[in-house]
Chains A and B, each alone.
Chain A
Amino acid sequence: MKQQIIVSGIGGQGVLFLTRVIAQAAVAQGLPVLTAETHGMAQRGGTVLSTIKVGDFASPLIRTGQADVGLLLWEANLPVHQPLLKPAALLLVNAGRPGKGERIDATRLARQFGNAVLANLVLLGLAVRHEALFCSAADCEAAIRTLAPPRFVDRNLEAFRAGLLSAP
């Protein structure tokens, strides 16, 4: 099993948490995983990108045109990060308007759970619904339980399930 995933957004959208959830799902299955993340100045609202490589890899970075899956929390990043995707990659976008890829207004759904940041897990749910990832819904829920602060676990799971069960 080898899979290369990008998670794209802007600082403050929970890109790092989403990255960790996906990577934790790999660790729990005993799969080797490498991630690369954006920290520092760009986290102050600038464009941030995480890459996740599951399987037998030595580097956490993804070459142009090699990613299998793209999770975009910020639609405006599409022209910046789309070149990383394979032509046949599955693209999941948090957006309220029609356009490229599988789309869901994750931010609007997340607001119902009290925090727009939960859009990250709504989008993860959508990715799992499309069977885009190496991991199952149960794997993701277990990773969320492992990583989320206890008082936020329920809301995080609700957000994830909202994406998972969203109407096609």
Chain B
Amino acid sequence: MTSETIDTQLLMGNEAIAAGLIEAGCQLATAYPGTPSTEILQAVIDQRARAGVPLHIEWSVNEKIAFEVALAGSYSGKRSATVMKQVGLNVAADPFMRTAYLGVKGGMLTIVADDPGPHSSQNEQDTRLFCLQGRVPVLDPASPAEAKELVPLAFELAEKYELNLVLRPTTRICHSRQNVALQAPAAAARTADFQKDPTRWAATPAFLPALHRKLNDKLAEIAAEPVLQPRLRAGDGSRPRIALVAGGIVFGHLVDLLADLGLEGKIDLYQVVMPYPLSPPFVDRLQRDYDRLLILEETYPVIELQLAHPGAVGKQSGAVPREGELTPDRVHEALADFLGLEGPSAAAAERRGQRPSLCPGCPHRAAFFSIKRCFPRGIFPSDIGCYTLGMNLGAVNTVHCMGACISQGAGFYQAYRQDGEPPTIVVTIGDSTFFHSGIPALINAVIQRAHIIVVILDNATTAMTGGQPVPHLGIAADGSATRAVPIEPLVAACGVDFIEVCDPYDGERFEDLLHQADQHTRAVAGGVAVLISRHGCIMDPAVRSQQQRWRVSIDHRCVGCRKCVEAFECPALVMTGEGGLAKVDQDRCIGCGTCLPVCPVGAIVKEERA
């Protein structure tokens, strides 16, 4: 299956998956960034010189689009992959579900990164369960190296069965590093050859029952694929008629734990590589050979549900915690309970440590501070991105899913309007999120006559995920120039009459424009007002080097009221000055000077650097 190893490198799971895509001859790779999946496409970009075939790479505008572009690549007979985080699959659900019935031609791989915990997501949904509902085979790697090994295998099976396959790494695979072997990439490029077949590619309801039947037949066949059968590490018979069944990174936790407890090779241990469709011979064997089973999987009881074994315990039975990451400590507790061993000594209460904050100098902080100052009683729907952290300033009241803030703002308006004059509603949405799914919501707000302020936080990047290009910059994934789609004409075309642009560092003008926007929303003939808050992301070295860097300090006038650390919440403002007064942490301050207005006694001062 794999050719000779040419090098062994320390790779992050996401980089390993990217290497797998390059080596397997993937010709279209598409993604929308989202933690923990982002570095996969980034690594495809970084490794593209290794590709033995022509390779189109794109940061698509959203996951649905990413999926559909890759899908047509597959219809053309080429290998394609699309990458997203678990909630991105919700956005791509529509084409994903139909693809199960229609199938693919060239191997297609949908890589969906789950986030048990969650660490950086709005939920901890399980893509394996999504695949069960969508009838899509899904592979669950247990290490970065295994994730890479599964990529060429998945492409081969996708072509053999003409099915889209899902590879489901979790955060602990994506963001783990390991020694990973690299192979030479496949050299054979394919020629695009779309075979027209309307009964399949444009299947009307008349054709769907047959396609559905065919899908069910294929699922039965792939479930019996020898290479995808659960892998047994047999015990020595000292603990008969019990077995452990695990998948994904939890299998790794279990292997290490058994070694620590001296139980390695004592108990039958199965690794389930393909949790859906679960192999029927495997299910039969467990029914026949074991009285008791412990099932360890993240995040939902997908294997456990399909096994329906009377002696199985796991998440469904309640023997294993149903929520949160299945850490090695939790695996230890579950195993100790199952085997009647002494459990771990009571684990220390979980502490969270320091909460994250917007970076020092972040333009979003300045915008949030002004919004909160102008409308202390406003309603502030916001969205997914770094700017979610505006909640630390009290300027973010709702965070739901990509693009929801504009529709939620409109919904608040409709609800409050029935009872009289609504409060000021200020929606904040990032530039990348606006393109992803804010535009239909903005059109809807306009045509439903919602009177709300929409602040587009334009920092010219997808900051939260590490700075992927956005459509209004005119930069493609590989760094080449492409056509830019600017925000202002788009907003105007959505039917918005009030459009202003302002750097939030200019707090005075920004607040003046917010008040003008408020008047627009309160006028009978008014409607949606859009204020574009424009200042580059401070993580971008070019932005930092181009802006004035003041020496900011706090003078003797400080009274220790804490307003600066609480209402402005910049990590560079700390209360560790002499006598418990505020001071500026010069290691962290970037000298933007946007904090000056927050001090009620004017003790924060700035001066030119020597």
Interface residue ranges, A against B (CB under 8 Å): 10-12, 19-20, 23-24, 26-27, 32-47, 57-66, 74, 76-77, 79-81, 83, 107, 111, 116
Q: Given A10-B354, A35-B176, A61-B172 in contact, is the A23-B348 Cβ separation under 8 Å?
A: no
The answer, among B12, B179, B251, B359, for a CB contact under 8 Å with A32, is B179
Summed over the interface, the residue pairs from A and B with CB atoms below 8 Å come to a total of 137
A57–B345 Cα gap in the complex (Å)?
23
The answer, among B12, B251, B571, for a CB contact under 8 Å with A45, is B571
The answer, among A27, A41, A62, for a CB contact under 8 Å with B35, is A41
Which residues in B have their C-beta under 8 angstroms from that of A42? 119-120, 356
Counting from the closest, the 3 A-B pairs by CB-CB distance are A47-B353, A40-B120, A46-B356
Q: Is the CB of A44 within 8 A of B356?
A: yes
Q: Given A34-B177, A107-B587 in contact, is the A39-B120 Cβ separation under 8 Å?
A: yes
Q: Is the CB of A37 within 8 A of B249?
A: no
Task: State which residues 168-215 of B face A: CB under 8 Å.
Answer: 172, 175-179
7 extra A-B contacts, CB within 8 A, seeds A20-B10, A36-B175, A37-B12: A40-B120, A41-B356, A42-B119, A47-B354, A59-B172, A63-B327, A80-B353
A83–B349 Cα gap in the complex (Å)?
9
A66–B329 Cα gap in the complex (Å)?
11
Which residues in B have their C-beta under 8 angstroms from that of A44? 356-359, 386, 389
Instruction: Determine whether B284 belongs to the interface, using a CB cutoff of 8 Å to chain A.
Output: no
Q: Is the CB of A39 within 8 A of B36?
A: yes
Q: Is the CB of B10 within 8 A of A24?
A: yes
Least CB distance from B465 to A in Å reads: 8
Contact sample, A vs B, 29 pairs, CB 8 Å cutoff? A11-B356, A19-B177, A33-B10, A33-B177, A37-B177, A38-B119, A39-B35, A41-B119, A41-B386, A41-B464, A44-B356, A44-B389, A45-B359, A45-B571, A46-B353, A47-B354, A58-B253, A58-B255, A59-B252, A59-B253, A61-B249, A61-B253, A63-B327, A63-B344, A77-B354, A79-B351, A80-B352, A81-B353, A83-B348
Instruction: Determine whether B8 belongs to the interface, using a CB cutoff of 8 Å to chain A.
Output: yes
Which residues in B have their C-beta under 8 angstroms from that of A59? 172, 249, 252-253, 255-256, 328
Least CB distance from A78 to B in Å reads: 10
Q: Is the CB of B8 within 8 A of A63?
A: no
Name which of A32, A60, A64 has the most chain B CB atoms within 10 A of its CB. A60
Name which of A10, A39, A81 has the most chain B CB atoms within 10 A of its CB. A39
The answer, among B176, B249, B388, for a CB contact under 8 Å with A41, is B388
Interface residue ranges, B against A (CB under 8 Å): 8-10, 12, 35-36, 119-120, 142-143, 172, 175-179, 249, 251-253, 255-257, 260, 327-329, 332, 344-345, 347-348, 351-359, 386, 388-389, 464-465, 571, 587-588
Q: Is the CB of B177 within 8 A of A23?
A: yes
Binding site secondary structure of chain A = mixed
Q: Is the CB of B35 within 8 A of A46?
A: no
Measured CB to CB, the nearest residue on chain B to A44 is B356
A37–B255 Cα gap in the complex (Å)?
20
Least CB distance from A85 to B in Å reads: 11
Measured CB to CB, the nearest residue on chain B to A117 is B587
Q: Is the CB of A80 within 8 A of B351?
A: yes
A24–B388 Cα gap in the complex (Å)?
35
Q: Given A44-B359, A76-B354 in contact, is the A62-B328 Cβ separation under 8 Å?
A: yes
Q: Given A45-B354, A58-B142, A60-B172 in contact, is the A27-B587 Cβ separation under 8 Å?
A: no
Which residues in B have their C-beta under 8 angstroms from that of A107? 587
The answer, among B35, B252, B353, for a CB contact under 8 Å with A77, is B353
Least CB distance from B348 to A in Å reads: 4
A42–B36 Cα gap in the complex (Å)?
12
Which residues in A have their C-beta under 8 angstroms from that of B249? 59-61
A42–B354 Cα gap in the complex (Å)?
9
A116–B585 Cα gap in the complex (Å)?
11
The answer, among A20, A43, A64, for a CB contact under 8 Å with B177, is A20
Q: Is the CB of B176 within 8 A of A57?
A: no
Q: Is the CB of B175 within 8 A of A46?
A: no
Which residues in B have their C-beta under 8 angstroms from that of A77? 353-354
Which residues in B have their C-beta under 8 angstroms from that of A63? 257, 260, 327-329, 332, 344
Measured CB to CB, the nearest residue on chain B to A33 is B179
Which residues in A have their C-beta under 8 angstroms from that of B251? 58
The answer, among A33, A38, A40, A64, for a CB contact under 8 Å with B464, is A40
Q: Given A39-B120, A46-B355, A59-B249 in contact, is the A64-B178 Cβ separation under 8 Å?
A: no
Which residues in B have their C-beta under 8 angstroms from that of A111? 587
Least CB distance from B505 to A in Å reads: 19
Q: Is the CB of B175 within 8 A of A39?
A: yes
A21–B12 Cα gap in the complex (Å)?
13
The answer, among A12, A35, A61, for a CB contact under 8 Å with B328, is A61
Which residues in B have their C-beta under 8 angstroms from that of A43? 356
Which residues in A have their C-beta under 8 angstroms from that of B388? 41
A59–B388 Cα gap in the complex (Å)?
32
Least CB distance from A126 to B in Å reads: 19
Least CB distance from B578 to A in Å reads: 16
Which residues in A have their C-beta under 8 angstroms from that of B464? 40-41
The answer, among A34, A47, A116, for a CB contact under 8 Å with B176, is A34
Which residues in A have their C-beta under 8 angstroms from that of B179? 26-27, 32-33
Measured CB to CB, the nearest residue on chain A to B119 is A40
Q: Given A36-B175, A59-B256, A116-B587 in contact, is the A47-B352 Cβ separation under 8 Å?
A: yes
Which residues in A have their C-beta under 8 angstroms from that of B10? 20, 23-24, 26-27, 33
Least CB distance from A132 to B in Å reads: 20
A27–B571 Cα gap in the complex (Å)?
36
Least CB distance from B256 to A in Å reads: 5
Measured CB to CB, the nearest residue on chain A to B356 is A46
A27–B182 Cα gap in the complex (Å)?
14
Least CB distance from A150 to B in Å reads: 16
Measured CB to CB, the nearest residue on chain B to A77 is B353
A59–B55 Cα gap in the complex (Å)?
33
Least CB distance from B466 to A in Å reads: 8
Which residues in B have their C-beta under 8 angstroms from that of A80? 351-353
Which residues in B have their C-beta under 8 angstroms from that of A40? 35-36, 119-120, 464-465
Measured CB to CB, the nearest residue on chain A to B465 is A40
A80–B355 Cα gap in the complex (Å)?
12
The answer, among A20, A33, A61, A62, for a CB contact under 8 Å with B178, is A33
A104–B554 Cα gap in the complex (Å)?
28
A65–B260 Cα gap in the complex (Å)?
12
Measured CB to CB, the nearest residue on chain B to A4 is B256
A27–B12 Cα gap in the complex (Å)?
13
Q: Is the CB of A34 within 8 A of B178?
A: yes
Measured CB to CB, the nearest residue on chain A to B327 is A61
Which residues in B have their C-beta under 8 angstroms from that of A47? 352-354
The answer, among A46, A62, A76, for a CB contact under 8 Å with B357, is A46
